Chain A
């Protein structure tokens, strides 16, 4: 004979699984007895007591429901707060992020009583005046802006106090130092694209090869000749950027603006862009440079077309478009830099740069 292994109370939709005294369509709980057969012959003996049919009086068992709804268990009756981290990536312009607070209590209000931050330089946060009352099942958004200008490494924590509980958002990012000088073509611009391959070969020339990376990393070497104030700025930029990330233009891929692009996301170009490999395939950013004034602005690329570049965010500086050149940018750290004065005001600046590939969240 089988043994009673357990009693399972489960939700079923009627009327398929209920006795006829329960109104059709009513969500009910039915009781089933499950027996474990000890031997094949036990099945026959068990048949009469396979109950399964609705045999439960809902009115009497309401208090005995064992598990709640998904919403009750996982959604409601708590405060939701996000995000815990914001990876601002390479910071080249103002970026806005939302910090969301959701009062998922159905019957009580919540209150944001304090917003504070640590190392907030380079960021702003805007919200209603405190305390902020959040209605039942209501939500509130705080707007965090990571500014284009700020410390080279952004590492900020904001704390939002909701119902006396502290919730935090950590912001990480890296600001990029542009290099707005033209290279000295006479001493050559060196661009290297590197892969890494795991390769084994025996003396019979049988090989096994595996790529250790699927995109190349870049190295640049070039010289800049600058004079006077421009030379001084170059030297200071080298020194300032020794532990920072430079936005190195791919000097060999020019895009020449064909019209005014100030305050616009679209830069229309006079030359064909389709044969510029880095711009079309590798670059995530461009830099707009006026080499005359050393004015530069780095923008994130949205799309590249045959004769235009669509930026993710509108150009914010005011450029004289006739003097500007647009280049794709590779983020690099300095592998080696040197300044060689040729006179008291003319400097050679030698740059050896290696691509900086960020680990996410660092």
Chain B
């Protein structure tokens, strides 16, 4: 089969895979404020429920990937353009097979429903190398599993053994206006990319 890229709202996917030799790093941009006078009790004020994730990834692209990466960065004008970034780590663990045509993924209860905002996307990394992207339009804790309701139905069976991982797909922009490439030879530069989630702009 082929990739099944759904619910992306016309935005591009970041074109290359990160290098795990450089540990990805994720921060949350906190949106709270503590108000107090010195020596008094505090008041905690939260500004917003959805806080952006800010990630850094290392890349060591070959020449073809380097071309794609530069082309992508230039096409976004640095921090201006938005795109989808595949977070590389497992976010959900499937509990039962999701059949083709289904609009539900049953995953291990991981408290994701607490922070679910309604715009989340997931991507599924298949053993075939194909990628599926879907919007999660609801989460329900069913006591034995967490139900992720999908906007677009699956186009194939997702079994416990035919995929590598189910991960978050982040809607984001570059967090720096510079693409800095360090070369020890003319190939495989060391590049660190910083991205910031655009929590108010999910399509």
Contact = CB atoms under 8 A, between A and B. Distances in A.
Interface in A189-206: 189-197, 199, 203-206
Contacts of A17: none
A251 B73 CA distance: 20
Contacts, number: 101
A215 B76 CA distance: 10
A204 B200 contact: yes
Contacts of A189: 182-183
Contacts of B180: 190-192
A277 to B, nearest CB: 4
A214 B79 CA distance: 12
B200 A275 contact: no
Most buried by B among A185, A205, A210: A205
Nearest to A196: B177
A204 B198 CA distance: 11
Nearest to A210: B80
B186 A252 contact: yes
A346 interface: no
B47 interface: yes
A24 interface: no
Contact of A194 (B51, B70, B78): B78
A251 B67 CA distance: 15
A188 B183 contact: yes
Contacts of A251: 183, 186
B80 A209 contact: yes
A204 B47 contact: yes
B168 interface: no
Given A189-B183, A216-B74, A276-B67, A197 B177 contact: yes
Nearest to B173: A209
Given A205-B31, A205-B48, A205-B199, A214 B67 contact: no
A205 B51 contact: yes
Contacts of A211: 77-78, 80
A252 B80 contact: no
Contacts of A216: 73-74, 78, 179
A188 B181 CA distance: 10
Contacts of A210: 80
B151 to A, nearest CB: 23
Contacts of A276: 63, 67
A197 B200 contact: no
B50 interface: yes
A276 B173 CA distance: 25
Nearest to A251: B186
Nearest to A254: B186
A361 B189 CA distance: 37
B52 interface: yes
B67 A277 contact: yes
Interface string B16-58: 0000000000000101000000000000000110111000000
A124 to B, nearest CB: 40
B144 interface: no
Contact of A207 (B186, B189, B200): B200
B142 interface: no
Given A211-B80, A276-B67, 13 more contacts: A188-B183, A188-B184, A194-B177, A199-B79, A204-B200, A205-B51, A207-B200, A207-B201, A209-B80, A216-B74, A254-B186, A275-B63, A277-B67
30 contacts: A185-B184, A188-B182, A190-B182, A192-B179, A192-B181, A193-B181, A195-B177, A196-B177, A197-B78, A205-B48, A205-B50, A205-B198, A205-B199, A207-B198, A207-B200, A209-B79, A209-B80, A210-B80, A211-B77, A211-B80, A215-B74, A251-B186, A254-B186, A275-B63, A276-B67, A277-B66, A277-B67, A277-B71, A278-B70, A281-B71
3 closest A-B pairs by beta carbon, nearest first, are A195-B78, A211-B77, A197-B79
